[in-house]
């Protein structure tokens, strides 16, 4: 995660700590196959709904210049939207840095997990 933070900072040096935290939590949840809704993000991060809503909006293309998060229609409930990473605006350096850091830090354990999953 520190590698991801460093890459995010290099690409977007003007974003705030709440923006970092929300962007990383959205990425983590999506990578785990369980993307957040705004309500689940609020619950997970224990922050006021209005604050989370404002920060998420600032991370979208519509809400500002960053555009690293987007709303995606929920597959079964048209009233809900998932928060997902807007891959069009996220530099490839971020996931690459995370993978490198994981391999350097965990090394053989990560390789074994990849072989088992693959």
CATH at residue 29:
1.10.10.10
Report the pLDDT value the prediction gives residue 16, as an integer from 0 to 100: 86
What does the pLDDT profile of the chain (118 residues) look like in tens digits?
A: 566 666 667 777 788 888 888 988 998 898 889 999 999 999 999 999 999 999 999 999 898 878 889 999 988 988 999 999 888 776 665 666 666 665 666 666 656 766 776 6
In angstroms, the Cα distances linking 53 to 22, 83, 97, 115, 118 are: 10, 11, 28, 39, 37
Which domain does 19 fall in, by range? 2-117
**pTM to 2 decimals?**
0.70
Beta-carbon contacts of 103 under 8 Å, excluding residues fewer than 6 positions away, are 110, 111
Report the pLDDT value the prediction gives residue 89, as an integer from 0 to 100: 73
Residue with tokens 């196959």: 33
Report the pLDDT value the prediction gives residue 5, as an integer from 0 to 100: 65
Q: How many domains does the structure of the chain reveal? A: 1
Report the pLDDT value the prediction gives residue 21, as an integer from 0 to 100: 86
Q: What is the pLDDT of residues 44-58, one digit of tens each?
A: 999 999 999 999 999
Spatial contact of 90 and 30, defined as CB atoms under 8 Å apart? no
Report the pLDDT value the prediction gives residue 56, as an integer from 0 to 100: 95
């Amino acid at each position: 995660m520190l590698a991801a933070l460093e890459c995010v900072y290099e690409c977007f040096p003007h974003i705030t700590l709440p923006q970092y935290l929300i962007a990383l939590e959205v990425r983590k949840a999506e990578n785990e196959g369980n993307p957040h809704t705004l309500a689940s993000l609020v619950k997970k991060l224990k922050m006021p709904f209005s604050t989370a809503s404002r920060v998420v909006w600032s991370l979208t293309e519509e809400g500002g210049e960053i555009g690293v998060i987007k709303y995606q229609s929920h597959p079964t409930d048209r009233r809900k939207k998932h928060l997902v990473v807007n891959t069009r605006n996220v530099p490839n350096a971020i996931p690459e840095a995370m993978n490198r850091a994981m391999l350097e830090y965990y090394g053989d354990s990560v390789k074994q997990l990849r072989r088992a999953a693959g």
